[in-house]
């Protein structure tokens, strides 16, 4: 349906996944299979669902996968809030990541809106 690699939202979400992996490198070792793993799975889910939806046959299916990607971004945001409150992420890092999540969420929303027109 769409070449997902040309979508700015996909490109941004892949770049964001790299940022998240780097930002979570220094989380406590005992969180490697807990919060760190959850955060990383959530961020990978965003770009993966955008790609999968773009590869589907209909706009409706693409829209559904964009909804899943949006949900993953909300899940990720919640996990980052928890990491920040536990002081695993400092306020500056958290603030930068929050801005990027917000940007990606707006891009997903706008793409969904354009598909529904």
- The range of the structural domain enclosing residue 32 comes to 4-116
Residue 1 has pLDDT above 60, yes or no: no
CATH number at residue 43: 1.20.1440.60
Residues 70 and 105 sit within 8 Å (Cβ to Cβ): yes
pLDDT, tens digit, 9 for 90 and up, residues 16-68: 999 999 999 999 999 888 999 999 999 999 999 999 999 998 999 999 999 99
pTM for the model stands at 0.94
Residue 100 CA to residue 21 CA, distance in Å, equals 14
Residue 2 has pLDDT above 90, yes or no: no
Number of domains present in the structure of the chain: 1
> Please, which residues have CB within 8 angstroms of residue 96's CB and are 6 or more apart in sequence?
none
């Amino acid at each position: 349906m769409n070449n997902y690699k040309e979508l700015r939202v996909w490109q941004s979400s892949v770049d964001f996944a790299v940022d998240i992996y780097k930002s979570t490198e220094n989380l406590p070792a005992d969180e490697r299979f807990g919060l760190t793993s959850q955060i990383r799975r959530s961020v990978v889910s965003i770009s993966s669902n955008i790609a999968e939806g773009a590869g589907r046959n209909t706009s409706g299916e693409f829209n559904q996968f964009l909804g899943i990607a949006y949900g993953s971004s909300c899940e990720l945001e919640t996990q980052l809030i928890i990491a920040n409150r536990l002081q695993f992420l400092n306020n500056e890092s958290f603030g930068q990541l929050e801005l990027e999540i917000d940007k990606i969420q707006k891009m997903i929303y706008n793409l969904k809106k354009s598909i529904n027109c």
